[in-house]
């Protein structure tokens, strides 16, 4: 767990720093540590300085070698980084590589190579000076970029990588191979014992007069006695050497708005001899550390045996967060909660728990007041379970589930945790609980499934699948690292095995792919290699659609179709929508801006058995990462996030393009729309006559993606009226979203299984397609005289769907 319960003061003062225009204060993501160690001991630590998670897919590190003005290495980031957390990138051969979030053999610098952090094309931070080949140093030579570990000493960043660089202005130097602080920015390393220069605390006695802990905690978010020496007495309820401290609780002050418990931060002093259940007198300074009330620089005296207080039963969601604040530092108990996030399980030993699964607000409510209400409830319905230690887990097995996490002993979102008892505290904008006795895990509510489960089968199974940046280097086992995806060939082999296993067990006939390398359609292309591997593994013949262009779109990733030619046959050449054939707005600007997203690809197929026709369209719209500017970003509470306007215009253009090119044909839209179910892009398609297949089959709790401890659906399938009655079943196959990202192909915990082969769940559908009884029309109903004869489907009024199907 990365905990900010230490009370040592981090040097955040900006006094004396050069605050010219090239510097930015209070950044979102910045470089917090730079390790230029011996040999391959190279690492960068990034820190999320915001109060919410950051989607890293649009972020990258650029390294400029030996004074070059062009980036020699670009490292793409991926995944999400929670608020107040670090992201460590290490050379894959570093001695500490197993503790990093990302490893790459391409991460290398030698003290005279400039490092730049970007979000899109926006420079967020830098170290060094582009165009200079010097080994940068402060005036005294005590802080240099060669053979040192540099740690950020303030949150002022350098957003001009071409200006003169003085490392002493923002960085503190440590030893060449001192990576003891790597991954724990903002946490005290114990070197100063938490002492900020205050008057030392005198020895204490069990006979000393004391004040109530409640008077120290106060009824607000922070202690009213900050900076004052106070003396309290109480029973020790928990000792956590990994936090360099212990919790104590007194008998109360008869005020329900003030907590009766508090954390004692011991700094470098040992707490190994502190006895749980005994009464202690403690004197220290009342303090806050990221809004967690504590006593620092303490002296304590063991007095006598006491009685453990009864833990307070807490039911989520609470009516107000002040309910939890009034319990900060006290023993609390939760009966049974549901795991909502496991992405910090391996690195920090923690997971987010809630009463049931929390849905992304705009998955279940429209943007605005309704979604804001869901957001508020979600915020009141969460607590983080952790292992009671600070910083990244390094060199030890993650503690949960017992006896320790592995690829075969795992936890998933949707599993439940029972019998949770421990002290409650506040850290990084969330309330945490560290159990003092073993908890009970139960996976029976959300078991893994090796195959997608469909309620019925038709005559065609269609799916969409995000293949998580499938890049195959030069196609001959070399060319790694690539722009995205695997950094090494060995990692790529594992990635391919996981993706092929998922595609094989999907048992589909047509699959739309997302995030595949945009390197053409030749023999050594990524799409060719994946198709060949799938054919070999499945024992079936697979082919891919070539739209007749060298590359589809200008992005490094693209969308594609693979299919079984023994089941379906493509009709004509695939078509695609980009800015060149999009409708335009009143200013003549294309509404489908393919400079910001991948083109939408459409292919019509006939079913070989009966010549029924289906047009499939795979889509991958602009992500929510970064910004698309004023008017396009909806970052309000309960909003749709960045680039909502860009995506909405795209779906407007998409609906018109489909009407112009595929009139009166059954159409299936699939893919990653980067919009949840109640957001404008999806509502726009519904207004144009398309229906979500989950609504048709009654999947009210659908999701395909877990972000920031909330589940929602970015991956949709929608059909027009001409296809609605052919949808007999649909599911999101939960092999990815509920799994920890630490099982992905680039992790030491990954295996060759299909689980966590991507970060998105596949969407799988069963269709029952019949050839029309006329020519050239695909509309349902007697008005055209063509019946499809879906006699096996539910009759009207049985809740199948709202469409006017002619059964």
Is 659 within a domain?
yes
pLDDT at position 560: 98
Same domain, 329 and 372: yes
Is 774 within a domain?
no
pLDDT at position 13: 31
The CA distances from residue 602 to 169, 489, 525, 762, 778, in Å, are 55, 32, 20, 19, 17
**174, 199, 223 — which closes off a domain?**
174
Same domain, 356 and 416: yes
Per DSSP, helices labelled H in 539-688 are 644-661, 680-687
Is 194 within a domain?
no
Q: What is the 3-state secondary structure (H, E, C) of 645-703?
A: HHHHHHHHHHHHHHHHHCCCCCEEEEEECCCCCCCHHHHHHHHCCCEEHHHHHCCCCCC
Same domain, 168 and 257: no
- Count of positions (residues) in the chain: 807
Same domain, 608 and 748: yes
Q: Which of 563, 565, 595, 567 is nearest to 579 (CA)?
A: 595
Which H or E run includes 421?
strand 416-427
749: left (phi over 0), alpha (psi -120 to 50) or beta: alpha
pLDDT at position 803: 55
Same domain, 299 and 331: no
**257, 288, 309 — which closes off a domain?**
309
The CATH number linked to 95 is 2.60.40.1260
Q: Give the C-alpha separation, 280 to 249, whole Å.
A: 10
**309, 338, 357 — which closes off a domain?**
309
Same domain, 717 and 611: yes
Residue segments in the chain with a per-residue pLDDT below the cut of 70 = 1-27, 95, 98, 140, 155, 176-177, 180, 186-199, 394, 772-807
Is 642 within a domain?
yes
Is 268 within a domain?
yes
Is 13 within a domain?
no
Same domain, 424 and 548: no
Domain count, the chain: 4
Same domain, 404 and 523: no
Q: Do the Cβ atoms of 88 and 43 come closer than 8 Å? A: yes
The boundaries of the domain holding residue 606 are 460-767
Indicate the pTM of the whole model: 0.80
pLDDT at position 90: 87
Q: Do the Cβ atoms of 666 and 769 come closer than 8 Å? A: yes
Same domain, 362 and 416: yes
pLDDT at position 180: 66
pLDDT at position 797: 31
The CATH number linked to 331 is 2.40.50
346: left (phi over 0), alpha (psi -120 to 50) or beta: alpha
Burial profile 642-679: b = 16 or more Cβ within 10 angstroms, e = fewer: bbbbbbbbbbbbbbbbbeeebeebbbbbbbbbbbbbbb
Same domain, 118 and 45: yes
Same domain, 153 and 298: no
Is 754 within a domain?
yes
Same domain, 633 and 679: yes
Is 190 within a domain?
no
pLDDT at position 111: 85
């Amino acid at each position: 767990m990365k905990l900010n319960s230490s009370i040592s003061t981090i040097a955040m003062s900006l006094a004396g720093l050069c605050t010219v225009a090239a510097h930015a204060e209070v950044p979102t993501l910045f470089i917090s540590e730079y390790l230029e160690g011996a040999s391959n001991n190279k690492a960068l630590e990034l820190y999320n300085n915001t109060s919410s998670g950051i989607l890293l897919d649009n972020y990258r590190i650029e390294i400029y070698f030996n004074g070059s003005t062009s980036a020699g290495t670009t490292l793409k980031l991926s995944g999400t980084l929670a608020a107040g957390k670090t992201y460590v990138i290490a050379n894959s051969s570093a001695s500490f590589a197993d503790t990093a979030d990302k490893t790459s053999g391409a991460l290398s610098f030698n003290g005279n190579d400039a490092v730049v952090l970007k979000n899109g094309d926006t420079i967020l931070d830098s170290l060094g000076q582009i165009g200079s080949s010097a080994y940068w140093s402060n005036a005294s030579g005590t802080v240099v970029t060669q053979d040192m570990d540099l740690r950020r000493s303030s949150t002022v960043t350098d957003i001009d990588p071409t200006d003169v660089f003085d490392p002493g202005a923002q960085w503190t130097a440590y030893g060449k191979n001192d990576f003891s602080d790597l991954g724990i920015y903002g946490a005290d390393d114990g070197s100063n014992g938490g002492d900020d220069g205050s008057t030392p605390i005198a020895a204490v006695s069990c006979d000393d007069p004391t004040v109530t802990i409640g008077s120290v905690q106060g009824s607000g978010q922070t202690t009213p006695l900050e900076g004052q020496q106070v003396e309290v007495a109480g029973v020790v309820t928990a000792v956590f050497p990994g936090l360099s401290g212990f919790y104590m609780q007194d008998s109360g002050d008869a005020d329900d708005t003030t907590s009766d418990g508090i954390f004692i931060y011991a700094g470098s002093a040992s707490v190994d001899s502190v006895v749980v259940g005994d009464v202690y007198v403690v004197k220290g300074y009342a303090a806050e550390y990221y809004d967690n009330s504590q006593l620092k620089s303490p002296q304590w005296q063991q007095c006598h045996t006491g009685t453990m207080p009864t833990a307070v039963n807490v039911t989520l969601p609470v009516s107000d967060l002040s309910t939890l604040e009034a319990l900060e530092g006290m023993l609390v108990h939760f009966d049974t909660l549901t795991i909502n996030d496991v992405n910090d399980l391996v690195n920090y030993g923690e997971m987010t728990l809630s009463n049931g699964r929390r849905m992304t607000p705009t998955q279940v409510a429209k943007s605005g007041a309704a979604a804001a209400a869901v957001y508020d409830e979600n915020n009141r319905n969460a607590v983080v379970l952790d292992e009671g230690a600070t910083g990244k887990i390094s060199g030890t097995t993650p503690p949960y589930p017992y006896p320790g996490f592995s690829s075969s002993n795992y936890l998933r979102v949707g599993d439940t945790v029972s019998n949770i008892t421990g002290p409650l505290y506040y850290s990084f904008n969330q309330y945490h609980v560290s159990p003092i006795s073993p908890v009970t895990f139960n996976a029976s509510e959300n078991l893994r499934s090796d195959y997608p489960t469909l309620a019925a089968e038709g005559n065609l199974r269609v799916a969409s699948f995000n293949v998580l940046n499938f890049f195959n280097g030069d196609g001959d086992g070399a060319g790694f690292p690539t722009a995205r995806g695997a950094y090494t060939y060995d990692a790529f082999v594992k990635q391919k095995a996981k993706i092929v296993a998922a595609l094989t067990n999907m048992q589909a006939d047509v699959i739309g792919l997302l995030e595949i390398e945009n390197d053409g359609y030749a023999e050594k292309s990524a799409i060719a290699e994946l198709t060949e591997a799938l054919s070999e593994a499945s024992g079936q013949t697979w082919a891919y659609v070539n739209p007749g262009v060298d590359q589809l779109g200008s992005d490094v990733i693209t969308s594609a179709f693979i299919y079984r030619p023994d089941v379906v046959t493509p009709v004509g050449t695939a078509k695609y929508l980009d800015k060149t054939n999009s409708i335009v707005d009143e200013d003549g600007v294309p509404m489908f801006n393919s400079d910001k997203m991948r083109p939408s690809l459409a292919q019509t197929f006939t079913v070989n058995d009966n010549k029924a026709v289906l047009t499939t369209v795979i889509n991958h719209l602009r992500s929510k990462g970064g910004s698309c500017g004023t008017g396009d970003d909806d970052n309000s509470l309960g909003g749709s996030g960045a680039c909502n306007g860009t995506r909405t215009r795209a779906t407007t253009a998409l609906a018109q393009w489909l009407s112009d090119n595929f009139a009166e044909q059954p159409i299936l839209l699939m893919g990653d729309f980067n919009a949840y179910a109640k957001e404008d892009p999806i509502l726009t398609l519904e207004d144009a006559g398309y229906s979500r297949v989950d609504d048709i089959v009654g999947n009210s709790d659908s999701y395909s993606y877990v972000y920031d401890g909330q589940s929602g659906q970015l991956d949709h399938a929608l059909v027009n009226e001409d296809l609605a009655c052919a949808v007999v079943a649909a599911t999101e196959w939960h092999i990815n979203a509920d799994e920890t990202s630490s099982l992905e192909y680039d992790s030491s915990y990954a295996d060759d299984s299909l689980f966590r082969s991507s970060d998105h769940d596949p969407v799988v559908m069963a269709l029952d397609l019949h050839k029309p009884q006329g020519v050239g029309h695909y509309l349902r109903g007697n008005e055209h005289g063509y019946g499809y004869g879906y006699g096996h489907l539910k009759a009207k009024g049985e809740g199948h769907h709202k469409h006017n199907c002619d059964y």
